[in-house]
Amino acid sequence: MVMNNFKFLLFALSLVTSSALAEPQALLIHAARLFDGYEFKTDTSVLVVDGKVAQIGQRGTLKSNNVKEMDLGDATLLPGFIELHAHLNYRHVSADTVLAHGITTLRDVGGPVHPPMGGDGHLRVLTAGSIITAANGYPIPSMGATNLAIAVNTEEEARTVVRQLVKDGAVVIKIALEVGHEEGAPWSTGHGHEAHAKHQPAHNKPSLPLLPLAIVKAIVSEAHALNRKVTAHFGEEQGATLAIHGGVDEWAHIPCEAISETLLKQAVDQQVAIVGTFDTLSKCTGIAHNANVLSGLGAKFLYGAEIAHPDIPWGIDAHELMLMMHIAKMPILEVLRSATSKAGEQLGIPLLGTLQANAPADLIAVKGDARGNLKLLEYPDWVMSGGKVIVNHFNGG
């Protein structure tokens, strides 16, 4: 009987100890200004508990037991940025470097597929897997197919590939509708990572084969049945026509060549989202026209800089943000939303890219006012992923 009581006491003590150890750690962060994914606020604080944003409110209004406080002073606190167009795994870019430079969530579109991972002190990585393309279509002639692309010849084959990609963890389906000869495009001119061998003028190159419309529609139909969007890589009007008539949800780039206003209006009417990659395509002749027309029509632009391209920082790309402002005529608030709350919405992850109650505690901070110097964002002074501090240049950290 005494032994049984002793065992019960040990069991009770273990529960108390486990409960104490499991008590979530709380961090209360103060900053002079805060962007919550939608608007800027002043003298606002964020309470982080157990890897999530617990509360947000005016300084002095938030309370918590056993809380550690951190005052960033004259700083800007923001959600971690979301990169929607990257080739991290295919190009073997360091995830730790990307995270340390302000990107807390990254979508890898064209490379090895795996289920979503990270977000807990590591870069959150979501994948599309192999790009679906036509037989010998882009990017197979220049870069091969291994861990990058898969060719399909029939509607049923396309549907089977979509099902397998989703089963393997793909969060989006990417297709190529690329003819391969737009002037100024990195895949056409020998500039950048996508053109390896052929340096002849782009207009002299033969067009690459494209998926027929029936197969594009089959891919979109199967993806939608599995609750996945379809993003399309193309750079000119033929690809745009296939994407629009096929019901594609997203354009992986602003098109390189000028697209007719009729087609651009159709895309906006269909609520197609456009991932900019303006920095990558800065040598293209048609992006200013396309951006101006799309902006005037109220198109939805999203941030994506194509991390792994040799001209692009391995983190937040301030030049991409500035080009969105100057070429697409987007106010700075819309630019920041495109890389935070709107990107989270595009991924279908509730509250990702925001500083709201129950949002993942993915935050970055820079000293000073980021609105006056977007370059600051490329070198954040403080980075948090899933409630874990990764970078701290405040208070001698």
pLDDT in tens, 273-311: 999 999 999 999 999 999 999 999 999 999 999 999 988
pLDDT at 250 over 70: yes
Could you give the angle at which helices 213-225 and 237-246 cross, rounded to 10 degrees? Answer: 50
pTM (predicted TM-score): 0.90
Q: Confidence class of residue 203 from pLDDT cuts 50, 70 and 90?
A: low
Cβ-based burial of 166 (10 A; exposed 0-12, middle 13-18, buried ≥19): buried
Q: Are 47 and 27 in contact (CB under 8 A)?
A: yes
User: Is the pLDDT reported for residue 24 higher than 80?
Assistant: no
Mean per-residue pLDDT, 86-107: 96
The tens digit of pLDDT for each residue in 343-376 reads: 999 999 989 999 999 999 999 999 999 999 999 9
Residue 62 makes CB contacts below 8 A (sequence gap 6+) with: 28, 45, 47, 55, 56
**Domains in the chain with CATH codes:** 25-79+355-392 (2.30.40.10), 81-347 (3.20.20.140)
Contact in structure between 213 and 232 (CB atoms under 8 Å)? no
**Nearest of 370, 369, 367 to residue 339 by alpha carbon:** 370
**Confidence check: pLDDT of 25 > 80:** no
Give the residue from 117, 127, 170, 41 showing the smallest Cα distance to 386: 117
In the beta sheet, which residues pair with residue 174?
231
Predicted pLDDT of residue 194? 41
Confidence band, pLDDT 50/70/90 cuts, at residue 1 = very low
pLDDT value at residue 195: 39
Separation in Å, CA 282 to CA 35, 44, 134, 275: 28, 37, 27, 14
- pLDDT band for position 189 (cuts 50, 70, 90): low
Angle between helices 261-269 and 237-246 (to 10 degrees): 30
Q: What is the pLDDT of residue 60?
A: 84
Question: How many whole angstroms separate alpha carbon 148 and alpha carbon 132?
Answer: 9
Tokens coding 386: 């899933």
